[in-house]
A and B are shown apart, each in its own frame.
Chain A
Amino acid sequence: MDPKRPHSRRSAEIIAGNDDLLTELILLHLPATSLLRFKSVSKHWQTLISAPSFVRQHTTHRGGGNSPPSFIFRSNSHKFFYFNPATKSLRRQKFYHRYRHTRILQSTNGLMLLECRKSKYGQKHYAVYNPTTRWSRTLIDAKRKNKAAISGVCLVFDPSRSPHYKIVCVRSGKNWEYSNPTIDIYDSQSGTWNYRLHFTPIKIKFSSGIYRNDCIYWIRPTSRSYYYNLQTEVEDKMINNLPRIKTPWRRNGETNKNYVMESNGHAHILCTYMGPEFKSMFVYELSEDNSGWYDKYRVDLGPISSVLAEKNDPVELVGIVRGEREGDSSVLLHSPGRIIRYTFSDGSFEVLVDFRNRSEIYKE
């Protein structure tokens, strides 16, 4: 070593020469797309980045932060956009999947659950898809003898709890409307399916389940709602009733349209009345212990007309964002040409995206 310049090795070289430093200080902080590209740096980087232990660490590390939720806008079967309300950025993504007809059933923490068909009326398959790595896995359960119809599939993935995902698949007998459902659970950690039979017949469609607190919820604003506890082994505690809710079906002559949405660990029913003259919204939140519904917000959305392109443009709800603090909560609304944010705390409307300036992406 040159005595005059004892530290001639640059810091970056020191970091690169030590796997722990390189992992802790650099690689864990990079987004997945960059990491995949940097596999080309050298064989050693490729080995480090591909190591299962690193992948696991990276998933939990990146997922552990309070990253704000994104929403998906889909323009056709091969393209979709991630919209991040915090940065107002729309990120274009192409779909790489071998099935021509896909429907996004669910998107959670960077993984998607797809319903796929080879042709328009072909047999349904389900797949887990990672849009970043473009990796997908079609869920086939070869060992299963009972080919009962699938009445609902739900993806459980929360990287702040576990880097592995689960698929909860509810099957009903032939008479699906009123039968004993079986619940098949796939665990990506073990790569195996588990079956549980539910003995009490239940009349419910098990589509559009939402995941929260280790439970799957099937919430029906106008009929019975249920939740399934993933942790319990006790058969009669598996599927439970949720308290019912009464949403006024008409207000000021406008019929309601209900939405069931999860955000930041809270389950909501959003009940909207969107007429040309009268716009309002009720937000109900499920209590932490599943015992009841809070009357969370009642909002007059009439003033939205001042930020619409045309005063009487139709308005649709896109999603709810529950902030860490009460004042950060908002809903996203879509009206022709615009995405608008309504913040509950101060009753303000803000146009987040005006598609008139971005005609290249607005084809829906």
Chain B
Amino acid sequence: MAAETGTPTTLTLKSNDDELFSVAESAAILSVTIRNMVEDGCAGGVIPLDNVDGKTLASVITYMNGISAIPADEEKKKSYRDKFLSDKDFETLADMVLAANYLNMSCLMDAVSAKIAQVMEKKSVGWVRRKFGIENDYTPEEEAAVKEEHKWTFEGVETDDDN
């Protein structure tokens, strides 16, 4: 790493749909995956990120820049994360959590997972099946039985008009 020279090093990241992004190395190494590549000497050229599309990578880079600009103050970082995720819909959050997992950025991953849980918490079973593309393999009798067993957990569930 070029930290001792004093000049900030810039890395070029490539998404799986061939978009190129420039990002300061100091921010990019929040990703353990990228840090390992830098340490292995791949930083000279372009770093290919095969599992992240351009739209998601742009968002992750915004986060990297934003969070690394905050000094070591856990509370400020937390409020930045909250604000950063506040307007994201479920699909975007799912993209981000997969990207954070692939990039090995635990702080982002935990925050997005918590946010997804918040979004899902009061959702119906039908909503979960649609969003995750899951086929209902219960027979109507089996489904009725498993619902009956945990009947009270269906109180206060949101109605499904928010597709």
**A153–B129 alpha-carbon span in the complex (Å):** 45
User: Which residues of chain B from 46 to 63 have any CB-CB distance to chain A below 8 Å in the complex?
Assistant: 53
Which of A11, A29, A44 is close to B94, meaning CB atoms less than 8 Å apart?
A11
Most buried by B among A12, A30, A31: A12
Interface 0/1 of A5-18, CB less than 8 Å to B: 01100111111100
The DSSP consensus for interface residues of chain A is: helix
B120 and A41 within 8 A (CB): no
Is A305 at the interface (CB under 8 A from chain B)? no
Interface 0/1 of A27-53, CB less than 8 Å to B: 011110110111111111110000000
B91 and A11 within 8 A (CB): yes
Q: How many residues of B contact A (CB 8 A)?
A: 40
**A104–B154 alpha-carbon span in the complex (Å):** 26
Nearest B residue (CB) for A13: B133
User: Which residues of chain B from 86 to 135 have any CB-CB distance to chain A below 8 Å in the complex?
Assistant: 90-91, 94-95, 97-98, 101, 109, 112-114, 116-117, 120-123, 125, 128-129, 131-135
A21 and B101 within 8 A (CB): yes
Is A25 at the interface (CB under 8 A from chain B)? yes
Is B150 at the interface (CB under 8 A from chain A)? yes
Interface residues on A, range: 20 to 34
**A36–B121 alpha-carbon span in the complex (Å):** 11
Nearest B residue (CB) for A46: B146
B135 cross-chain contacts in A, Cβ below 8 A = 42
A28 cross-chain contacts in B, Cβ below 8 A = 113
B146 and A12 within 8 A (CB): no
Is A230 at the interface (CB under 8 A from chain B)? no
B117 and A15 within 8 A (CB): no
**A51–B128 alpha-carbon span in the complex (Å):** 20
Most buried by A among B112, B120, B135, B154: B120
Which of A13, A29, A31, A39 is close to B146, meaning CB atoms less than 8 Å apart?
A39
Which of A6, A12, A31, A33 is close to B131, meaning CB atoms less than 8 Å apart?
A12
**A201–B21 alpha-carbon span in the complex (Å):** 76
7 smallest beta-carbon distances between A and B, as pairs: A29-B117, A11-B94, A16-B132, A37-B153, A13-B133, A36-B150, A12-B94
Instruction: Give residues in A with beta carbon < 8 Å to B.
Output: 6-7, 10-16, 21, 24-26, 28-31, 33-34, 36-46, 134
Q: Could you name 11 residue pairs across A and B whose Cβ atoms are closer than 8 Å? A: A12-B94, A15-B97, A24-B101, A25-B98, A34-B122, A38-B125, A40-B138, A40-B150, A41-B136, A42-B134, A43-B138
